[in-house]
């Protein structure tokens, strides 16, 4: 078993875990920050709403009928300072600013002056909108002691002796910020730890179960793949359509079917090879044995044999040598075709002319058996696009068979007919015919009908024809009735 297989599932689980934990941390952090942000805002909004009236209240209640805090255009500092400090004793978080009508700071009362570099001016826009909606909405204004920040405030306008301005009270002053930051920090840590621990616990439960469910199918499939690898060729994934990884499950099943199919094919090819070797050795041995017998007789009895006997023995020897060389040639041809060493060289040629040539060639043999051999419907010159020498070989085998399996006084007819874009070639005889049950097998190597027949050949002739047809992308079919005859038909494309 290879290491990649061993580690497939754990590695996937590890990746799922890493993704899961990253998501949890991200979610935790986002949760803490969002909560912190809104808690802070909520806190500030509450403080502003509660104290929204404070500036108004000071102006109306404290100064309206008392000594004015602006005298001759300048601030009555003792009066103003006293009052404000009294207030700050109660609420240390506020800072009070007296602004002119342009937002310029006239005077400020703050608790802690240590790091002061206060601004000279604040923006009036938020103050005016605060006054306009009477402090009903949460709004942030400039922080005179920290130009980079905005802060909650309360504000009110005043008009004293024609002198206009604003009372601007920072509600979350420096003191407030210090306490708030400190508390927020503590809550952040507590919130962070709490949230992380809680989410981790849930994540552990949810993660374990979901990863188990997610990888369930994968484990199942891995098990089946392993069974197949160990030799159980029937191992298949059941109901692949129900699997989470349907494509993979289907592919595995298809692959397994292909492998099993290939193994079966290889087995049958192997059986055929064995059959071929057995048959070839038998086919070669018979004529060789005959040859040996006659040659030995000729050697031993050369003086006692008459001339005519010698002649006869030599004729038999000759015909057996012919048989042998024909068989060897056919075997060579078939094995070349089977090993796909033959590439057809296609070209346009006249199938009519080729047929006439072959008829002329076989005329003598046919005449010896008193068989008429002719081309029917041969008036038209039909051109096909094919390998001329391979087609010649195929036709030769078919004509040879037709003559071989036809009795005296019979006939063998070739016909060439145009069928659309094809030319149909038909070789019909009035011979012995082929039994129906044998017809599907005659194109297989070594399938011979009438095994005992004297006429039997190598059984290679039709196998070669079939291979030639395969090379031309066409098929050969047989129509035959025992005792009536046979027709072999094939098509070739018309040469354009
Ligand atoms: P063989 O060398 O035995 O003729 P083939 O491959 O040419 O081998 O033919 C296979 C078998 O098909 C033959 O043995 C024969 O039984 C049958 N066959 C082929 N052609 C004909 C035909 N024209 N008429 C009757 N039987 C035929």
Q: Which of 434, 436, 466 to mutate to test the pocket of ligand 1 (most atoms within 8 A of CB)?
A: 434
pLDDT, tens digit, for every residue of 2-36? Answer: 444 444 556 777 887 788 788 877 887 887 788 87
Q: Report pLDDT for 262.
A: 93
Secondary structure (DSSP) of 334-391: HHHHHTT------EEEEHHHHHHHHHHHHHHHHHHTT-EEEEES-SS--EEEE-HHHH
Cα-to-centroid distance, 459 and ligand 1 (Å): 7
Cα-to-centroid distance, 355 and ligand 1 (Å): 20
By alpha-carbon position, which residue is closest to atom 4 of ligand 1?
457
pLDDT, tens digit, for every residue of 181-199? Answer: 788 778 777 877 887 788 7
Ligand 1 atom at minimum distance from 458 CA:
2
Q: Which of 401, 411, 452, 482 to mutate to test the pocket of ligand 1 (most atoms within 8 A of CB)?
A: 401
Kindly tell me if the per-residue pLDDT of 450 is higher than 50. Answer: no
Ligand 1 atom at minimum distance from 459 CA:
8
Query: Which residues have CB under 6 Å of ligand 1?
Result: 401-402, 405, 429, 431-434, 442, 448-450, 456-463, 486
Cα-to-centroid distance, 436 and ligand 1 (Å): 13
Q: Which of 287, 442, 446, 469 to mutate to test the pocket of ligand 1 (most atoms within 8 A of CB)?
A: 442
Helix/strand/coil for 89: helix
Which residue pairs from 327-336 have beta carbons closer than 8 angstroms and sit at least 24 positions apart in sequence? Answer: 327/283, 327/284, 327/287, 327/458, 327/460, 328/284, 330/458, 330/460, 330/461, 330/464, 331/280, 331/458, 331/460, 333/393, 333/460, 333/464, 334/445, 334/460, 334/463, 334/464, 334/467
Strands 372-376 and 411-419: parallel
Q: Which of 279, 405, 460 to mutate to test the pocket of ligand 1 (most atoms within 8 A of CB)?
A: 405
Q: Report pLDDT for 308.
A: 92
Q: Locate the DSSP E strands across 24-81.
A: 70-71, 74-75
**Residue 57, burial from CB neighbour count under 10 angstroms (0-12, 13-18, 19+):** middle
| CA-based torsion, 83, 85, 89, 90: positive or negative | positive
Q: How confident is the model at residue 452 (pLDDT cuts 50, 70, 90)?
A: very low
Cα-to-centroid distance, 267 and ligand 1 (Å): 26
Cα-to-centroid distance, 412 and ligand 1 (Å): 14
By alpha-carbon position, which residue is closest to atom 11 of ligand 1?
448
Kindly tell me if the per-residue pLDDT of 469 is higher than 90. Answer: yes
pLDDT, tens digit, for every residue of 44-86? Answer: 888 888 888 888 887 776 665 444 566 666 777 777 777 777 7
pLDDT, tens digit, for every residue of 119-134? Answer: 888 999 999 999 998 8
Cα-to-centroid distance, 404 and ligand 1 (Å): 8
Q: Report pLDDT for 477.
A: 96
Kindly tell me if the per-residue pLDDT of 342 is higher than 50. Answer: yes
Q: Which of 455, 461, 463, 481 to mutate to test the pocket of ligand 1 (most atoms within 8 A of CB)?
A: 461
Q: Which residue has the tokens 């094995």?
A: 335
Helix/strand/coil for 418: strand
**Residue 295, burial from CB neighbour count under 10 angstroms (0-12, 13-18, 19+):** middle
Helix 388-404 to helix 351-368 angle (10° resolution) is 30
Kindly tell me if the per-residue pLDDT of 216 is higher than 70. Answer: yes
Q: How far apart are CA 238 and CA 227, in angstroms?
A: 14
Cα-to-centroid distance, 317 and ligand 1 (Å): 25
Ligand 1 atom at minimum distance from 432 CA:
25
Cα-to-centroid distance, 383 and ligand 1 (Å): 28
What Å distances lie between residue 404 and 268, 370, 494, CA to CA? 31, 12, 30
Kindly tell me if the per-residue pLDDT of 358 is higher than 90. Answer: yes
Cα-to-centroid distance, 449 and ligand 1 (Å): 7
By alpha-carbon position, which residue is closest to atom 15 of ligand 1?
449
Ligand 1 atom at minimum distance from 431 CA:
24
Cα-to-centroid distance, 403 and ligand 1 (Å): 10
Helix/strand/coil for 80: helix
pLDDT, tens digit, for every residue of 365-384? Answer: 999 999 999 998 666 899 99
Q: Report pLDDT for 453.
A: 45
By alpha-carbon position, which residue is closest to atom 8 of ligand 1?
459
* Structure-model confidence comparison of residues 478 and 92, the more confident one: 478
* Structure-model confidence comparison of residues 31 and 262, the more confident one: 262
By alpha-carbon position, which residue is closest to atom 7 of ligand 1?
461
């Amino acid at each position: 078993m290879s290491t990649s297989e061993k580690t497939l599932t754990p590695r996937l689980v590890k990746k799922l875990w890493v993704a899961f934990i990253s998501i949890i941390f991200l979610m935790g952090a986002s949760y803490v920050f969002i909560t912190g942000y809104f808690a802070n805002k909520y806190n500030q909004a509450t403080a502003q709403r509660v104290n929204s009236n404070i500036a108004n209240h000071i102006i109306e209640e404290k100064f309206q009928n008392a000594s004015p805090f602006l005298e001759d255009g300048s601030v009555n500092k003792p009066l103003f300072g006293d009052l404000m400090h009294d207030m700050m004793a109660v609420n240390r978080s506020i800072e009070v600013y007296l602004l002119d009508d342009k937002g310029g700071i006239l005077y400020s009362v703050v608790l802690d002056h240590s790091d002061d570099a206060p601004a000279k001016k604040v923006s009036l826009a938020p103050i005016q909108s605060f006054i306009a909606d009477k402090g009903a909405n949460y709004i942030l204004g400039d922080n005179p002691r920290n130009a980079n920040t905005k802060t909650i405030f309360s504000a009110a306008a005043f008009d004293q002796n024609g002198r206009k301005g604003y009372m601007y009270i920072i509600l979350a002053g420096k003191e407030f910020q210090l306490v708030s930051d400190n508390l927020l920090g503590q809550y952040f840590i507590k919130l962070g730890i709490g949230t992380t621990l809680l989410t981790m616990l849930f994540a552990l439960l949810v993660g374990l179960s979901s990863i188990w469910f997610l990888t369930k199918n994968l484990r199942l499939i891995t098990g089946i793949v392993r069974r197949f690898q160990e030799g159980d060729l029937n191992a298949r994934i059941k109901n692949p359509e129900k699997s989470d990884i349907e494509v993979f499950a289907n592919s595995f099943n298809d692959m397994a079917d292909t492998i099993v199919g290939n193994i079966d094919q290889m087995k049958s090819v192997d059986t055929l090879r064995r059959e071929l070797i057995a048959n070839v050795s038998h086919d070669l041995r018979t004529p060789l044995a005959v040859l040996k017998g006659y040659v030995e007789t000729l050697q031993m009895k050369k003086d006692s044999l008459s001339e005519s006997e010698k002649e006869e023995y030599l004729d038999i020897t000759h015909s057996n040598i012919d048989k042998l060389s024909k068989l060897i040639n056919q075997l060579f041809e078939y094995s070349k075709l089977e090993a796909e060493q033959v590439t057809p060289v296609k070209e346009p040629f006249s199938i009519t002319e080729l047929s006439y040539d072959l008829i002329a060639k076989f005329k003598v043999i046919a005449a010896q058996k008193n068989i008429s051999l002719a081309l029917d419907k041969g008036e038209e010159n039909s051109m096909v696009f094919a390998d001329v020498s391979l087609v010649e070989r195929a036709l030769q085998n078919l004509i040879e068979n037709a003559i071989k399996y036809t009795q005296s006084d019979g006939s063998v007819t070739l016909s060439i007919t145009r069928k659309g874009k094809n030319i149909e070639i038909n070789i019909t005889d009035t011979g012995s015919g082929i039994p129906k049950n044998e017809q599907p097998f005659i194109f297989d190597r070594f399938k011979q009908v009438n095994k005992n027949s004297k006429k039997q050949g190598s059984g290679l002739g039709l196998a070669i024809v079939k291979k030639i047809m395969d090379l031309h992308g066409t098929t050969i079919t047989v129509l035959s009735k025992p005792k009536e005859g046979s027709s072999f038909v094939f098509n070739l494309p018309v040469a354009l």
